[in-house]
Amino acid sequence: MTKSPIGGNRSGRKLGQKVKKGKLKASSRRWLERHINDPYVQRAQLEGYRARAAFKLLEIDEKHKILAGARRIIDLGAAPGSWSQIAAKVTNSTDADPRVAAIDFLEMDPIPGVRFLQMDFLDPEAPDRLKEAIGGTPDLVISDMAAPTTGHRQTDHLRTMHLCEVAAHFAVDVLAEGGHFLAKTFQGGTERELLNMLKQNFRQVIHVKPASSRAESVEMFLLAKGFKGRRATEEGSAEDAATE
């Protein structure tokens, strides 16, 4: 069970620390103060996770049970690797028997049991490389991908939604029947076409915002549970076309 984050007592750091004024800009100083005083950052350091994002996945799983029974997992936008750490643990993945494949265009330090590809997921070769790396059919595809921000909210939303859409189609192409798909999105509306595609292919599609996602963040997660299987969805599409 995921517990609420704890304060500075167990991490050895007190909350409410200030960053001394120096060469840092005021905005940078405020970000740094928020970061070092974030209880989830402190808990991640205490529990050995590479980033506070670990608790977003753990909190979503606590309610929706997407990690239970997962035998193989693909992690999109994996760096710095906290979701891959969890994936390797729940699948009992090892270097000798890797059950987790991860990808990011950023460099990521090795994680035992995780086959990491440093490349852009939008590279045409990426899907086949991931299929080869996972060595079997995944039960879960998770994506924390977000496009580099431009400062223009609508542009950033559209670019990240494009990544979400590509990830969703990839998940439908690779998941085992009954598998799940989780991807970062932004508040502002998921495109209806994407939602319709997911509802056609999965038994349940919802938006979730875990407590560890900062309140001021526009970040949300799109969760599609219970993949119906490619044969079932193909037959459903044929029936829909026949009635048109």
21 is catalytic: no
Query: Phi/psi zone of residue 173: left (φ > 0), alpha (ψ -120 to 50 degrees), beta?
Result: alpha
Please enumerate in sequence order all residues whose Cβ is within 8 A of that of 183, keeping only pairs 6 or more positions apart, or say none: 76, 142, 143, 145, 164, 167, 168, 221, 222
Selection from 85, 86, 7, 90 nearest residue 46 by Cα = 7
Q: Select from 187, 169, 186 the least CA-distant residue to 224.
A: 169
The active-site residue, picked from 3, 21, 184, 199, is 184
Could you give the CA distance from residue 221 to residue 109 in angstroms, rounded to a whole number?
Answer: 25
How open is the CA angle 154-158-162, to the nearest 5 degrees? 170
CB 205 within 8 A of CB 224: yes
Give the residue numbers annotated as catalytic, written as ranges.
Answer: 184
